């Protein structure tokens, strides 16, 4: 079962005199983080913070939370990790949380050969790239439609059709 609350960023400083905080986003962009009505202070969602106002400033999210009206109140949030709820996010088709991709098996769609498991995801701008590790070997697999055939998060399997030369030929 996947975790319902995911790390989304960290409060790095206060901003201004009215209780706003500056958040370094750990998600796709500060814009994404600014879309939420609620952020959470724990991974179980017990400590909810209502977002009153949010905007982007220099690749950071500037957020005002309900009940945090002074610099001193905002200061209590410094260095806190903030979480989002999966229920508050509607992902596009064939879009996944990185956390859900880590650890899934990568299998050749045609031959059934297992290439390893995804250990990391890099965002390159054009497309994501998966680091697939098998023992001591690591491969970089582009997350493009020509390669990725199917991603089954529930069963932790990704089926691919590798580009020529992506993996060593065993012929």
Mean of the pLDDT values across residues 77-90?
93
pLDDT at 90: 84
pLDDT in tens, 41-70: 998 888 999 999 999 999 999 999 999 999
Full set of structural domains in the chain with CATH = 5-87 (2.40.30.60), 98-160 (2.30.30.240)
pLDDT digits (tens, 9 = 90+) for 107-139: 999 999 999 999 999 888 788 899 999 989 999
Full DSSP string of 85-143: EGGG--PPTT---HHHHTT-EEEETTT--EEEEEEEEEE-SSSEEEEEEETTEEEEEE-
Model pTM score: 0.74
Task: Give the pLDDT band (50/70/90) at residue 171.
Answer: very low
């Amino acid at each position: 079962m996947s975790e319902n609350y995911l790390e989304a960023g960290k409060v790095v400083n206060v901003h201004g005199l009215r209780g706003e905080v500056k958040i370094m986003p750990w998600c796709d962009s500060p814009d994404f983080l600014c879309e939420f009505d609620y952020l959470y202070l724990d991974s179980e969602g017990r400590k909810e913070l209502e977002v009153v106002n949010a905007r982007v400033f220099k690749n950071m999210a500037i957020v005002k939370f309900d009940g945090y009206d002074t610099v001193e109140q905002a200061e209590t949030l410094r260095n806190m990790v903030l979480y989002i709820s999966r229920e508050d996010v509607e992902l596009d088709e064939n879009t996944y949380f990185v956390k859900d991709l880590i650890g899934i098996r990568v299998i050749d769609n045609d031959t059934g050969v297992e290439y390893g498991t995804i250990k990391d995801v890099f965002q390159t701008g054009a497309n994501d790239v998966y680091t697939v590790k098998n023992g001591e070997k690591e491969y970089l697999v582009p997350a493009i439609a020509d390669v990725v055939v199917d991603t089954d998060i529930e069963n932790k399997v990704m089926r691919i059709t590798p580009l020529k030369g992506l993996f060593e030929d065993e012929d």
